[in-house]
Amino acid sequence: MSENENTTPVRNWNVPNQLTAMRLLLSIAVFVLIPLERYTAATTLFILAAATDWIDGYWARRYNQVTQLGRIFDPFVDKVLICGTYIMLAEAMVNYPIRIAGWLAVLVTAREMLVTVLRSYIEQQGIDFSAKMPGKLKMVFQCVAAVAAMIALTNEPKSVPAWVNNTLIAFIVLTVAFTVYSGAGYVRSAARILGSGVRTDNQQKS
C-alpha cells in the first residue's frame, strides 16, 4: 500500500480509484449503447467517462492519494474505454464516407497494447514510466475524434453536417499522428532505459 510523506496509509479504495471504477462501468454502457444505435446517450456517457479520467488524476495528485492500484487500474480503464469505443465505432460507421475505420481501431489498440507491455516490464524494475505530454495529448485527440464520430452517427451517412465531418477528419489526423509519435517516444525511452543496464542492476539486488 502506498504511503504519503506523513506515513499515513493511503486507502486503495479511495475517491480516485472509485472514479476509475465508475469510468469502467460507463465504458461498458457505451459499448452497449453504440450497437443499439443510442448514439446521443453513448456520446453523453463517453464524455462523462473521459471527464472522470482528468478528475481522478487531479484528485489523486491534489490530495496525495496516488496508490499502486491506481497506477495500474487507471491506465487499464483508459485503454478499455478508448480501444473498445474505437472498435465499436469502426463497426457502426462502415457505411460512412468519413469515419473511424477498422485500421484506425487496430492502430490505436496495438499502440496501447505495446505501451502497456513496456510500462509493465519497466516498472517491475522499479523505474517510473508514467505518461508523457504527447501521450496525454493523444488521449485528448482520440476522445474528440470519438465524440465527433458519435455525433456523425446521429445522422444518415449522406446527411452528416460539414462541420462534423471536418472536425472528424482533423482529429483523426491528429489521432494518427500522436498515436504513432507518442508510441515511438515510449519505445525510444524503453530502449534507452533497458540499454542503460538498470534492469540488470535491479535484478542483481533482488
Can you tell me the distance from the alpha carbon of 70 to that of 13, in angstroms, rounded to the nearest whole number? Answer: 9
Q: Residue 8: inside a domain, yes or no?
A: no
CA separation for the pair 162, 51 (Å, rounded): 26
Whether 143 maps to a domain, the answer reads yes
The tally of domains found in the chain comes to 1
Q: Give the Å distances, CA to CA, from 194 to 80, 111, 120, 127, 170.
A: 28, 19, 13, 10, 36
pLDDT of residue 195: 81
Residue 9 falls inside a structural domain = no
Give domain status of residue 50, yes or no.
yes
Q: What is the pLDDT of residue 203?
A: 41
What is the chain's pLDDT, residue by residue, as a tens digit (206 residues)?
344 444 445 577 788 888 899 999 999 999 999 999 999 999 999 999 999 888 877 777 776 767 767 677 888 899 999 999 999 999 999 999 999 999 999 999 999 999 888 888 887 777 777 778 888 899 999 999 999 999 999 999 999 999 999 999 999 999 999 999 999 998 998 888 888 765 444 443 33
* Residue 61 pLDDT: 75
Rounded CA separation 156/118 (Å): 41
User: Cβ neighbours of residue 187 under 8 Å, at least 6 residues apart?
Assistant: 114, 118
Round to whole Å and give the CA distance between 111 and 109. Answer: 5
Residue 3 lies in a domain: no
Indicate whether 47 belongs to any domain.
yes
Q: What is the pTM of this model?
A: 0.84
Q: Phi first, then psi: give them for residue 3, nearest 5 degrees.
A: -130, 145
Residues 152 and 160: beta-carbon distance below 8 Å: yes
CATH number for the domain spanning 160: value is 1.20.120
Q: SS3 for 100?
A: coil
For residue 9, the cross-strand partners are: 3
Note the pLDDT of residue 199. 45
Domain holding 62, by residue range, is 15-205
Instruction: Let me know if residue 81 belongs to a domain.
Output: yes
Alpha-carbon distance 178 to 172, whole Å? Answer: 10
Amino acid at the residue 21: A
Q: Does 2 reside within a domain?
A: no
**What is the rounded distance in angstroms from the CA atom of residue 75 to the CA atom of residue 53?**
9
